[in-house]
Amino acid sequence: MTALEIAVERWPIAGHFTIARGSRTEAVVVVATVRAGAHAGRGECVPYARYGESVDSVKAQLDGLREAVAQGLTRDELTHLLPPGAARNAIDCALWDLEATAAGLPLPALAGVPTPAPMLTAYTLSLGTPEAMQAAARQAAERPLLKVKLGGEGDPERIAAVREGAPHARLIVDANESWRAENLRANLAACARAGVELVEQPLPAGGDEALARADAPVAICADESVHDAASLARLPAWYNAVNIKLDKTGGLTDALRLRREASARGLGIMVGCMVGTSLGMTPALIVAGGADYVDLDGPLLLARDRDGGLRYEGSTLIPPWA
């Protein structure tokens, strides 16, 4: 008999986590556990209001799968029952974990990919005043790669302050759709002056035509503008890279497909995450091997992680199969 268990967990964030859409002091995750005989698989997701999700809506989606799980739901069948998003991610990853556990295989072997090597992850600096962000950058200055959250008005001052606080770190930027056509060129120029390598989703998805005329001096990465492999076909030509997140693709199954198809198009690859625990990061490592940018620092932003979670040595993430 196969059964589904659903749990909501709250994990305190170290301090706070602020982006253009607001600030949080805890990460709320939904965990799906699929049990089959003596074996169990778990998957974690983070409901995201930007995509119309809430803890209650994700729980309702998962509850609706109980009968399908009891009848032996497969990953392929799942793609026809739920849309891409957090709920499907939790179940998809639980099914991968269950199959790997039952077969006695490490997850990379089951997925047919090389065992990921230790990898450098970005470390995220929350949005704040230039002074606060400079102080945060100074504290994190020894980390090789910083991801800087920006928020629109005042961003040139913010990114200049971060560069001053961390003069030797590589920088990537995430604007979370907060820029507008009228400040796009000035913000991109400020990023170029600071040596930023990549700007993630500067303009709102579907309202980003100004990028076609911007002659951007740095690479532009799509986040909200691409969710899964199906949406890749609609991605505007002015994006140079895509951010693959399991909570967007609906799990590891489609994330692997998106990675293959984006690479075939010559797009750069970032593998990112929501703020969550090591349970949510681990399956993303299967997609992250060899990526241009890895942004799987969720556990580093928490006050505490799960027992037996992923191992980080500074900003180096050590896969559990390495």
pLDDT tens digits, 233-282: 999 999 999 999 999 999 999 999 999 999 999 999 999 999 999 999 99
User: Domain containing 276: what range?
Assistant: 119-318
Per-residue pLDDT band for 10 (boundaries 50, 70, 90) equals: very high
Please state the rounded mean pLDDT for residues 193-221.
96
Residues 262 and 306 in one domain: yes
SS3 249: helix
Please state, in angstroms and as integers, the Cα–Cα distance from residue 71 to each residue in 39, 65, 107, 219, following that order. 16, 10, 24, 46
Residues 62 and 150 in one domain: no
* Domain of residue 133, CATH code: 3.20.20.120
pLDDT at 49: 95
Residues 236 and 157 in one domain: yes
Quick check: is 136 in a domain? yes
Could you say which of 44, 77, 106 is where a domain stops? 106
The strand pairing partners of 223, in sequence order, are none
Residues 84 and 146 in one domain: no
Per-residue pLDDT band for 167 (boundaries 50, 70, 90) equals: very high
Residues 311 and 238 in one domain: yes
Quick check: is 114 in a domain? no
Residues 204 and 268 in one domain: yes
Q: Quick check: is 59 catalytic?
A: no
pLDDT tens digits, 112-160: 999 999 999 999 999 999 999 999 999 999 999 999 999 989 999 999 9
Are residues 24 and 49 in contact, defined by beta-carbon separation less than 8 angstroms? no
Residues 85 and 128 in one domain: no
Quick check: is 112 in a domain? no
Please state the rounded mean pLDDT for residues 8-13.
98
- Identified catalytic residue from 59, 147, 149, 248: 149
**For residue 110, is pLDDT > 90?**
yes
Give the whole-number percent of the chain exceeding pLDDT 90.
98
Q: Quick check: is 245 catalytic?
A: yes
Residues 72 and 138 in one domain: no
* Domain of residue 23, CATH code: 3.30.390.10
Are residues 179 and 155 in contact, defined by beta-carbon separation less than 8 angstroms? yes
Could you say which of 85, 106, 127 is where a domain stops? 106
**Distance between CA atoms of 178 and 277, rounded to whole angstroms?**
27
**Distance between CA atoms of 310 and 292, rounded to whole angstroms?**
21
Could you say which of 106, 129, 157 is where a domain stops? 106
Total structural domains in the chain? 2
Residues 31 and 88 in one domain: yes
Residues 295 and 230 in one domain: yes
Quick check: is 113 in a domain? no
Phi, psi of 167 (to 5 degrees): -65, -20
**What's the whole-model pTM score?**
0.97
Q: Which two tokens stand for residue 113?
A: 């990919």
pLDDT at 100: 98
**For residue 20, is pLDDT > 90?**
no
Please state the rounded mean pLDDT for residues 4-10.
98
pLDDT tens digits, 27-84: 999 999 999 999 999 999 999 999 999 999 999 999 999 999 999 999 999 999 999 9
Give the whole-number percent of the chain exceeding pLDDT 70.
100
Q: What is the rounded average pLDDT for all residues in the chain?
A: 97
Residues 75 and 177 in one domain: no
Report the 10 Å Cβ neighbour count for 47: 24
**Distance between CA atoms of 203 and 180, rounded to whole angstroms?**
6
**For residue 322, is pLDDT > 80?**
no
Residues 200 and 287 in one domain: yes
Quick check: is 303 in a domain? yes
Per-residue pLDDT band for 295 (boundaries 50, 70, 90) equals: very high
